[in-house]
Structure 1
């Protein structure tokens, strides 16, 4: 495509054209002359196209207005006058990504699709939503998405509800999230970053309809917008569409959205805050200490890269010297770090968890003296080189999993574009990487430590300590505030709120008209591929080992997965097997101490990880195929070194360093405690499945049960450490055994021989002893546990195994997932119940689960699950709506896969015994699904719900109030 700089195309003046080899793209930067909208187009051959419109949205309070507006713009608009166009798109689009995101200073609305027609539809709906939302004339939208008083009868208690209100109650129940909030507040007392853009639940009820509308009116204008297009498309067609349908309606105006800089402190500041824990938890060793600093400007791309490297080298690798100094000083259980570069003034944080507030001064002193020593003596060059190499590997690999590549580039380029810098600066990296490598020959990195961390006066120490009474006190205070608010209301005012509550419920329960639904553009069945994607896989045998070879173009990267069958491990050794997977690669070997091992791995590979997972055979719910999984990757040219290091770790790791094992146990415990709050939804679902699935019960041994094991290990370290060494000696030849190895390798055909030649050294080092298969006696029973925490919201899950109840898996269940998640559950649990969301899951092995997350309710949600059968058995919609659900379901099947993901999908299908024929049958059944098929599934759901398998994690108060529904109550943390 040849376009001329300074020439206008459909109202857009072309400003710059650049070829950027690092992202294999040509960038075109435009400005819309009438409206002032900015636009950047990354032209390349990627068929997974991305569109995004971003607005600079700096909040000036903690009401969460930016977040609530983000939710609300997608609740109806000028051209699409239904309640939730966003949901209708999810139901019936082939999108590969569809979301909206609130950041501390911006709001992004990205979409992606591989289908041209679908992509155009997504753009249209999103643009109409942001520029012409229904929120101006429908106050119920703020009530639903933000907050509202809820009361149905005069004698009832007054309560708060709202999706964002409950979402943020859940988000800020986590100590980690609260710490992030307090860090920004401490560093930015005078700018927008000092406010919680997501919303503080205590401040959200201060948001009025007028403030809500004013925020949108102020910031959601093309002059304040950043439009982004990525992929293989006709850009002139897109420019014409944007101009004619949207931007031409607006004139350029002045918008005061510029992000102001924080005036730097003259000396460090210290603040102490509290976070809630359950009333039964101990407070000892549960304080977080953090040292935080503003470190330069986001638009200094080179320095940002250097700080990213320094964070990894000093704090994230096993060889990290600053982390080691803090651990050696026994200041806490684990050392964490954060480098937040998506702010005008980026923030670098060093954090110790599991500490005590009395250690704050020593914490600060250790950091100071350690950094001074590093500057004086110099940072180990191999350590820095290893961190640079690992970052370079990731940049060149550009594998972002299920996130579209174009989306990640969009988020990255906003780090300069939003602050009036060159939007392309972060897409280049070759010159900056070379500068980093050249910096190894000078004091480049030491100078950055000196200027940005040591000499920098703009630092804060944030101490976040636990409080057992805080959650209860907050609830009492909230009850008091609401009671007082109700007392002050006149009868007329109370009646008005009751009327508004009723009006909101009526709106929520009234379905959109067929005419409104018809405004959402819809694809046709002919737009959908009928054939499933082929599994790229060929089974070969090398020296007696089965090899699953995936001939995929990987840009000279080799992806290697080893699956060791561990059904030979006795049941009593399973906790130790999970522990082994945690420790490998973090302890010394016979050749390297753990620090030099980490450096060597980072110098020569893209990483090696270890995990245990139990699989099931297709449609056999009681089958159990446990695997010890090793995942590794490197450049093809580095395969010999990768195989050498892999062999070294799995065959010669040593566990004689008691101090090191002690540190790793502490770190494991601290990491799990943060994960269990952050990923409560997955935790609860896994525990629930263990009630009725042997494979899930096996996997659960690495989740909550493993946490109990680690807690016990920590309390009785001397005895457990001695036992551990004995158990590991038993386990290692059982696990790393040639007799039970399956290998999956993904790379180009011409590089396969390079793999076979080098992999021989791994094979030759493995045990060849035959071990007997074990029989496991997991307690597969209905425990119905209620796990109590200081959380202010619940994670509710209910399910069963439908194959055991006499049913079979069909593709129609996938369509039912879409229908329930985005219609029945969306309306009943999210819209009417105020939860952040709900999910459904129907697996080939028969496991089915319903779940809610960040949910203010408990028994009400269980009732919604139980009543699903009524919804299904009376299911009746138009053919158009049925088609919509089918299309939306197909989008989940056709997500673009990276080379790594293609290999893993094929390998895991092989392990599960799922064939291309099975996948095609599922696809055909999805495409053939009709209302009758959905209604017929009601009996299956009813049978599953009648099993009454239930698991909940949530508020200690709420769970105790509903104790009758549980078999047993437990506190997760001691």
Structure 2
């Protein structure tokens, strides 16, 4: 589209237009003359269009007002007065992304859609939400989303409730969250970065309605906004809409939202902080040590990119010298490096996990001695080349699972635009990347290390150590505070709180009026493609190997996935197959040391990863196809090297070095602990499935709590088990890497397929050709109903079973049921009224069904809510419009956009599971034909599943202990 600089388009002056070759697009910067709004547009051929409106929102305290406001503006507005337009859009739009995000200094409201009409609808709802929210009319919104005093009877104790309050209690249950929050607090005592924009649970209850509204008035004005549009949409039409519907009604004002620079320190800081652990945990090896540095400004684009690369070079790869030195010094079990360039003054973090306070001085010594040595002796140029190459590969690929490409660009532009610089600064990386590549001939990175790390006093050393009883101490303090508060209230004031609780409950339980619901724009079913996308797949054989080809445009990248059948692994060796996936590529081979191997992978490929998966047969969980998967990608001209490296790792790895094996086991245990704390809902779902599902039980042994406990056993008695570990790893490798058990999936341009097949021998030679017999597993399935106890302040509560085992069959309408139960019943019951951060309902064609909660303050109440699902469905009734909404939302979920690389993976998974295009089409037809009677008819299915009473909970040890009658076994998860 041709536009002219300095011309006005619907109130927007085009200030700048330039080609951004890295994105294959045009970047345009606009200024809205009347309102003062800024708008940046990226035009390219991507049909997954993105819109966002963001505001600079520096917090003054840790009450979490930016975060609570992010939730609250999406709870009804001038044009869309439903209680939660966000949920209505999730139920019934074709969005490909719908969310809101709070950062330390900004709040973003992004949406995405491929459908033009839907895109405008979403934009309309979001603009109205941020500029005209109902928060001024309904004080209950702050109470629901932020916090409130909860009391229903004068004799009851007062408690705190609120979605963000519970979300942040969950976030602060993770020691990593505590650490990184305290790092910012230590480094920026005089800046908004020194307080918690998400909210500190101890401070959130200090937020008043007046402060809450004042924050919106101060910062949510177009003059303080950053509007972003991306994709192949009609920019002039979109500018017209934004101007006529919204911006023309605002006059430019001065908004004081500048982020002040923190004055550099004259001396580094040191801080010691406690975090809670459960009564059953030991305190030894549970401390976190971190060194953090403030490194320049994010508006220095070259330094910003250089530190992304330096972080990888020093701390991320298997050959990273600082990571290696810290592990060799036996300071802890895992090294974490991070660079946060999303704030004005970026932070570079070096973290040791599972250490001890006594290691503090040695930690500091090893870090600085290693960095000094690198500066003095120089960094290995091959290491630098590897770090630059892997970062360049990912810059060019520009893909992030679950996020539209345009959204990732939209987040990245804020790292300069928010601070008064050009939005395109970090998108146009080519020139700076070429400058950084000079590090291959000079001491570029050595000088950066010297200036920003060795000679930088603006740093902090933190010790975050475990303390038993801290959680109980905090809970007692909160209880004491609330008892004291209640004691000073008059009878009338207590009655007022009871009335406020009642009023909030009434608002939450009163359904939206039909008129309000109808205010949310809705597509017609005619706007939906009745035919699902057919994923390309050509089935062939090359050199007796089954090969699936997915001919798709990949910008000269070959995505090569090898699927090795795992059926020959004996039951007692299954966890070793999973451990093998952690070990490969991180340990020496015949030709390479693991450091050299890491460099070779990063120089010549886009990455080689290993994993395990079990693919359930279409329509059942009893039959499944377990696979060991080698995921790899490289530029097409690097295929021979890619094949050579994979072959070296899968056939010539040496399982001999005790020290290295122990390090990998310790690191894997540490990462699993992190996953358990941050993704407890997924951990609970996997564990629950293992009670009744053969495939669930299989996967639990490879990925779940069973596997975590297996690794803990290896770690605690490594000396006694090291011979067995090495022997079993070699044994499973020999059983797995076999030509007769191999399926290869290739996604690349059709013209490049021949280049792959020509070099196939390099990939498959040396693989075993032995005929291995499949093993028949006989897993003992039973309702264990465990309560896994941790120091977390919240719960993850799960319940479910397999409906096919009860005689029911799968139908596409169950996907609409999933939408309705998740976004209507569970959202209102578990999240809105219960105060949990999230709730889920999953149901699959294999029959497995799961209801779960995320960061949930409750336990019994959530289980009761799950049991109430059947009654809700039995009485379910809605009109044609609402039913259409649920159907559209379901189709949106089924049609989640896939990159071409992902299309190859999905097509392969369907192939293995024997799910054909006809099955997908049939399911879609059933979704589109779903009626409210189908939903009512499902009440018996759901009710019968709940009556089986299979449940699992992970969470607070006191809460679980207090409800021990629910469980068959209580387990201290962390020792």
TM-score, structure 2 normalization? 0.99
Query: Does residue 571 in structure 1 map to residue 571 in structure 2?
Result: yes
2:655–2:730: 8 Å Cα contact kept in structure 1? no
Partner SS for 1:619: coil
Give the C-alpha shift of residue 578 in structure 1: 1.1
Partner of 2:617: 617
Partner of 1:562: 562
Query: Does residue 64 in structure 1 map to residue 64 in structure 2?
Result: yes
Partner of 1:955: 956
CA distance in 2, matches of 1:327, 1:543: 43
1:621–1:804: 8 Å Cα contact kept in structure 2? no
Partner SS for 1:400: coil
Query: Does residue 921 in structure 1 map to residue 904 in structure 2?
Result: no
Query: Does residue 457 in structure 1 map to residue 454 in structure 2?
Result: no
Partner of 2:799: 798
CA distance in 2, matches of 1:729, 1:114: 49
Partner of 1:771: 772
Partner of 1:288: 288
Give the C-alpha shift of residue 732 in structure 1: 1.6
Query: Does residue 781 in structure 1 map to residue 782 in structure 2?
Result: yes
Query: Does residue 129 in structure 1 map to residue 124 in structure 2?
Result: no
Greater CA drift, 200-209 or 606-615:
606-615
Partner of 2:45: 45
CA distance in 2, matches of 1:526, 1:734: 52
Partner SS for 1:230: strand
CA distance in 1, matches of 2:946, 2:116: 41
Partner SS for 2:110: strand
Partner of 1:657: 657
1:733–1:769: 8 Å Cα contact kept in structure 2? no
TM-score, structure 1 normalization? 0.99
1:80–1:125: 8 Å Cα contact kept in structure 2? yes
Partner of 2:942: 941
Partner SS for 2:574: helix
CA distance in 2, matches of 1:646, 1:3: 50
1:688–1:799: 8 Å Cα contact kept in structure 2? yes
Partner of 2:203: 203
Partner SS for 2:558: strand
Partner of 2:238: 238
Partner of 1:589: 589
Give the C-alpha shift of residue 625 in structure 1: 1.4
Partner of 2:760: 759
| CA offsets 1:150-182 (integer angstroms, 9 cap, x no match) | 000000110000000000000110011111101
2:146–2:164: 8 Å Cα contact kept in structure 1? yes
Query: Does residue 414 in structure 1 map to residue 414 in structure 2?
Result: yes
How many residues are matched?
974
Query: Does residue 343 in structure 1 map to residue 343 in structure 2?
Result: yes
CA distance in 2, matches of 1:47, 1:624: 36
CA distance in 2, matches of 1:395, 1:689: 38
CA distance in 1, matches of 2:770, 2:946: 46
| CA offsets 1:201-231 (integer angstroms, 9 cap, x no match) | 0100000000000000000000000000001
1:799–1:948: 8 Å Cα contact kept in structure 2? yes
Partner of 2:164: 164
CA distance in 1, matches of 2:627, 2:354: 33
Give the C-alpha shift of residue 586 in structure 1: 0.3
Give the C-alpha shift of residue 396 in structure 1: 1.1
CA distance in 2, matches of 1:63, 1:307: 32
CA distance in 2, matches of 1:515, 1:669: 54
Q: How does 1:276-425 map to 2 (within 5 A)?
A: 276-425=276-425
1:798–1:949: 8 Å Cα contact kept in structure 2? yes
Query: Does residue 863 in structure 1 map to residue 864 in structure 2?
Result: yes
Give the C-alpha shift of residue 710 in structure 1: 1.1
Partner of 2:852: 851
Give the C-alpha shift of residue 813 in structure 1: 0.7
Partner of 1:970: 971
2:92–2:887: 8 Å Cα contact kept in structure 1? yes
Partner SS for 2:800: strand
CA distance in 1, matches of 2:240, 2:330: 63
Give the C-alpha shift of residue 729 in structure 1: 2.5
Query: Does residue 809 in structure 1 map to residue 810 in structure 2?
Result: yes
CA distance in 1, matches of 2:237, 2:656: 66
Partner of 2:821: 820
Q: How does 1:634-645 map to 2 (within 5 A)?
A: 634-645=634-645
Give the C-alpha shift of residue 621 in structure 1: 2.1
Give the C-alpha shift of residue 63 in structure 1: 0.3
Partner of 1:483: 483
1:27–1:43: 8 Å Cα contact kept in structure 2? yes
CA distance in 2, matches of 1:749, 1:715: 51
Give the C-alpha shift of residue 620 in structure 1: 2.0
CA distance in 2, matches of 1:593, 1:302: 32
| CA offsets 1:419-463 (integer angstroms, 9 cap, x no match) | 001111111111111111112211111110000001111010010
CA distance in 1, matches of 2:914, 2:806: 22
CA distance in 1, matches of 2:850, 2:724: 38
Give the C-alpha shift of residue 670 in structure 1: 1.3
Partner SS for 2:855: strand
Greater CA drift, 51-60 or 426-435:
426-435
Structure 1 unaligned regions, length at least 5: none
Partner of 1:741: 742
Partner of 1:500: 500
| CA offsets 1:336-370 (integer angstroms, 9 cap, x no match) | 11100000000001000111111111111111111
Partner SS for 2:122: helix
Partner SS for 2:806: coil
2:647–2:765: 8 Å Cα contact kept in structure 1? no
CA distance in 2, matches of 1:232, 1:2: 13
Greater CA drift, 586-595 or 701-710:
701-710
1:800–1:944: 8 Å Cα contact kept in structure 2? yes
Partner SS for 2:61: coil
| CA offsets 1:646-690 (integer angstroms, 9 cap, x no match) | 000000001111111121121111111111101111100000001
Partner of 2:695: 695
Partner of 1:710: 711
Partner SS for 2:190: coil
Partner SS for 1:804: helix
CA distance in 1, matches of 2:220, 2:519: 23
CA distance in 2, matches of 1:730, 1:423: 54
1:289–1:463: 8 Å Cα contact kept in structure 2? yes
CA distance in 2, matches of 1:806, 1:651: 46
Partner SS for 2:54: strand
Greater CA drift, 753-762 or 630-639:
753-762
Partner SS for 2:75: coil
Give the C-alpha shift of residue 402 in structure 1: 2.7
Give the C-alpha shift of residue 728 in structure 1: 2.1
| CA offsets 1:509-548 (integer angstroms, 9 cap, x no match) | 0000000111111000000000011021010011111111
| CA offsets 1:33-72 (integer angstroms, 9 cap, x no match) | 1110000010111110000000000001010000000000
Partner of 2:513: 513
Q: How does 1:142-157 map to 2 (within 5 A)?
A: 142-157=142-157
Q: How does 1:84-99 map to 2 (within 5 A)?
A: 84-99=84-99
CA distance in 2, matches of 1:102, 1:640: 45
Partner of 1:679: 679
2:19–2:27: 8 Å Cα contact kept in structure 1? yes
